């Protein structure tokens, strides 16, 4: 079936205002990473996440890479990450030379929880990457307290939780620093892009340096480097798009939640199909994606193929990080089972939820899923 006939999982939401904003930047001759447009985007995005500083980078993965590098981790240090998340978290830890330590996630929220953290922490734990999964926040208070007592640095990965709040405080405003992605399927997009936000001026300056080839700050001599760096600058074109999108970020995430609630309402009559909760006592789910966990008897890949044959696109859930083949290269392949992450990885898929999806497309997608599962 051609892509035109598919109900897609996600589509970028680009308006005339976005196009004009990019054109305007070009007209002003601003193209590269040192243009004022980038600084404007950084200021606006940091303010929108209640942070003092924002440093725009090329994507959400490199935001993690640079942030983890800037922690100055040493051999033997451990960094805790949830197994059920994007590989970028694992790569960022491995690149520093520290040891990734995997936690399972909570069976209801699909997020890391304090109980899992307590289980894996050791005297060598230096940092935690706190990922809010699919638009629902982690229960932060016990984790903040636990980490503060043990001097464990929290890096928050809020790539999937733009505008979401935990007890009224925005995701992206917890911990030493928080990272975001502006990939095409995120709540705002630059095509590709990311941001590190923090309240720590020194840390922000460090990220800023690392992102730009570790040039010495002015008035230091040009082309003299004291350490390795990245060229991970965001271009002015991307920043212009991001800044324009930022103006309606709240509208987009409100719409995402509405779509998630619609699916939830339809699927509530089918308890075999499990979604993340619509809300917890500390937060409301933004439903960055509408994930559904299938019953044991269903093969997620088979269900995805059948849905595609009916014109409905899906994506599988994350493959658990503690089972990634690449761990063998680091002598880390021998990991204990993490049953919730494993079950999510093998039995989860997410449904179309782009901004602009119609109620009938939601109904069609949900009912097709129900029918396929009932016949499995
Ligand atoms: C939680 C999380 N962190 C990081 C990333 C990586 O972002 P990017 O694709 O911009 O590199 C993603 C991407 O989906 C993500 O979901």
Going by pLDDT thresholds of 50, 70 and 90, the confidence category of residue 334 is very high
Pocket of ligand 1 (CB under 6 A): 59-61, 85-86, 88, 131, 157, 159-160, 181, 183, 194
Contact, 262 vs 255, CB < 8 A?
A: no
* Ligand 1: centre distance to CA 158 (Å): 9
Alpha carbon distances (Å) from 21 to 89, 193, 254 = 32, 17, 23
pLDDT greater than 70 at residue 344? yes
Minimum CA distance residue for ligand 1 atom 5? 60
Q: What is the pLDDT of residues 15-55, one digit of tens each?
A: 999 999 999 999 999 999 999 999 999 999 999 999 999 99
pLDDT greater than 70 at residue 209? yes
**What pTM value is reported for the model?**
0.97
Q: 350 pairs with which residues across the strands?
A: 291, 315
Q: What is the pLDDT of residues 134-183, one digit of tens each?
A: 999 999 999 999 999 999 999 999 999 999 999 999 999 999 999 999 99
With CA atoms as reference, report the closest residue to 354 among 225, 263, 223, 233. Answer: 263
* Ligand 1: centre distance to CA 159 (Å): 6
pLDDT greater than 50 at residue 1? no
Minimum CA distance residue for ligand 1 atom 3? 159
Percent of the chain whose predicted confidence (pLDDT) is above 90:
97
Alpha carbon distances (Å) from 228 to 195, 222, 317 = 20, 15, 35
Ligand 1 pocket, mutate which of 159, 194, 317 (most atoms under 8 A from CB): 159
* pLDDT (mean) for 322-335: 97
Q: What is the pLDDT of residues 52-81, one digit of tens each?
A: 999 999 999 999 999 999 999 999 999 999
Cis? peptide before 219, omega within 30° of 0: yes
């Amino acid at each position: 079936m051609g892509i035109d006939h598919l109900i897609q999982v996600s589509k970028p939401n680009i308006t005339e205002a976005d196009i004009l904003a990019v054109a305007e930047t070009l007209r002003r001759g601003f193209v590269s990473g040192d243009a004022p447009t980038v600084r404007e985007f950084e200021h606006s995005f940091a303010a929108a996440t209640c942070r003092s500083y924002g440093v725009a980078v090329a994507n959400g993965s490199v935001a993690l890479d640079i942030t983890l590098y800037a922690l100055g981790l040493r051999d033997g240090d451990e960094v805790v990450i949830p197994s059920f998340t994007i590989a970028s978290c694992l790569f960022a830890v491995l690149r520093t030379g520290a040891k990734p330590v995997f936690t399972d996630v909570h069976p209801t929220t699909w997020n890391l929880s304090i109980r899992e953290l307590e289980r894996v922490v050791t005297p060598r734990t230096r940092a935690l990457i706190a990922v809010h999964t699919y638009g629902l926040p982690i229960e932060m208070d016990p984790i903040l307290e636990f980490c503060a007592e043990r001097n464990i640095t929290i890096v928050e990965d809020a790539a999937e939780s733009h505008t979401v709040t935990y007890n009224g405080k925005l995701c992206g405003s917890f911990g030493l620093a928080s990272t975001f992605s502006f990939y095409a399927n995120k709540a705002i997009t630059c095509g590709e892009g990311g941001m590190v936000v923090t309240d720590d001026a020194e840390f922000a300056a460090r990220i800023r340096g690392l992102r730009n080839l570790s040039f010495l700050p002015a008035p230091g001599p040009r082309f003299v480097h004291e350490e390795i760096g990245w060229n991970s600058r965001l271009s002015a074109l991307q920043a212009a798009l991001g800044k324009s999108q930022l103006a309606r970020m709240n509208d987009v995430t409100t719409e995402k939640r509405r779509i998630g609630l619609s699916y939830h309402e339809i699927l509530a009559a089918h308890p075999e199909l499990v979604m993340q909760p619509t809300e917890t006592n500390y937060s409301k789910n933004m439903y960055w994606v509408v994930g559904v966990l299938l019953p044991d008897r269903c093969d997620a890949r088979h269900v995805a193929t059948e849905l595609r044959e009916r014109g409905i696109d899906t994506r599988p859930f994350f493959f658990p990080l503690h089972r990634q083949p690449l761990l063998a290269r680091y002598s880390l392949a021998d990991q204990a089972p993490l049953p919730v992450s494993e079950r999510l990885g093998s039995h989860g898929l997410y449904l179309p939820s782009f901004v602009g999806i119609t109620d009938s497309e939601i109904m069609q997608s949900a009912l097709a899923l129900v029918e396929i599962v009932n016949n499995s």
